[in-house]
Chain A
Amino acid sequence: MKLRSSGREAEKIEPQMAPMIDVVFQLLIFFMLTLNIVEPEGDFNINMPITNSAEPSDEPDIFPDIKVRLVANEDGTLNTIRLGQVNLGNGPNVFAGLNHEILKIIGKPGNPITKDMEVEIESDYNLHYEYTLKAVSACTGRLDSSGKHIIRYIEKIKFAPPVGGNSAGS
């Protein structure tokens, strides 16, 4: 048996680079093309048990629902927000105002009573969805100063049947 003597002619082995680079470039191009930049998306949970939809809750709640009424203009933009009897008006800061009012009602964030409290959003039929979502967000909580964590106000959000019905629908 002949053993290869390793020492003598240690010729430098040149690895074949070309195929590897081919494949690597293929991979690179594949990942570049499949890349689609999507903004991260988040959820707002809405609990709508079936029983609630038919009849307005009969059982006496310790805490009455916080009623948020969203009034729309003809074209579906926001006209006014009413919280209970308080008119919060319209404008760029109306959702911040709503957020502030909710905080006043619950006292402080994380208050145990917030577990039992519910926000009922009643909106015009033709109101654009983005305003409803902003209202949901304003009731849910706010970001802390660092902008990383959410300070929760009220978790339970529900919807009252839309105002205006199908007559406003297209």
Chain B
Amino acid sequence: MRIKSKKPAVADIDMTPMIDIVFQLIAFFMVITNFEQIQADERVKLPSDSLAKPPEVKAADELVLNIGFERNDKGEITDPEAYIFYNGEKIPVLQFGPKFEQEARIYKQKNQDPKEVPVILRTDALVKTGLVQDLIKIAQENGFTKFAFKATQKTQ
């Protein structure tokens, strides 16, 4: 019996297939990652609807408001009052007027008419409709006229 012992060859692993796969993975994750939704707040549980299609034309500027509740880890509501999560602050919905005023002023400084800036409302499914309407009213008092409701796209 012959024992192979001639050259203790350095185990030369063929890297090519591994790199192929790893690049595939990277490409996959790069494509699937979207950095856009930084304005979305995790605490807001949007209602879902099959008609909610992502808009084809995206407005250059939009004011996204997250309206929702304080929730614990399990997703249960801990505070019955609805808040607007705005730049890390927690503002009761009906006290948002000054912020609208401030936003309107910023848009005017940028030579934009607040009328043309859509206000995107990401509202939790359990918020009272009347409260949303009150918020719309406050927004109108500050010159905003375009509104859009967000919903997640229901998978059929």
Contacts and interface: CB of A to CB of B under 8 A. Distances in A.
* Interface size range of chain A in the complex: 35 or more
B77 interface: no
A133 B49 contact: yes
Interface string B60-71: 000000000000
Given A28-B25, A40-B54, A162-B130, A129 B124 contact: yes
A40 B153 contact: yes
Contacts of B155: 39
B130 A41 contact: no
B72 interface: no
* Interface size range of chain B in the complex: 35 or more
Interface in A57-103: 70, 76
B63 to A, nearest CB: 13
Interface string B104-136: 000000000000001010111111111111101
Nearest to B81: A170
A25 B81 contact: no
A150 B127 contact: no
Interface in B59-107: 80-81
A130 B147 contact: no
Contacts of B127: 128-129
Contacts, number: 167
A132 B155 CA distance: 20
Contact of B125 (A40, A128, A164): A128
A40 B154 CA distance: 9
B130 A123 contact: yes
Interface of B: 15, 18-19, 22-23, 25-26, 29-30, 32-35, 37, 40, 46-55, 80-81, 118, 120, 122-134, 136-137, 140, 143, 145-153, 155-156
Nearest 3 CB-CB pairings of A with B = A42-B52, A125-B130, A31-B29
22 contacts: A21-B18, A24-B26, A28-B22, A32-B29, A34-B35, A35-B29, A39-B153, A41-B151, A42-B51, A42-B54, A42-B152, A43-B148, A45-B146, A47-B146, A48-B147, A124-B130, A128-B129, A129-B125, A132-B129, A137-B151, A150-B51, A159-B133
Given A38-B37, A129-B125, 4 more contacts: A41-B52, A42-B150, A43-B54, A125-B130
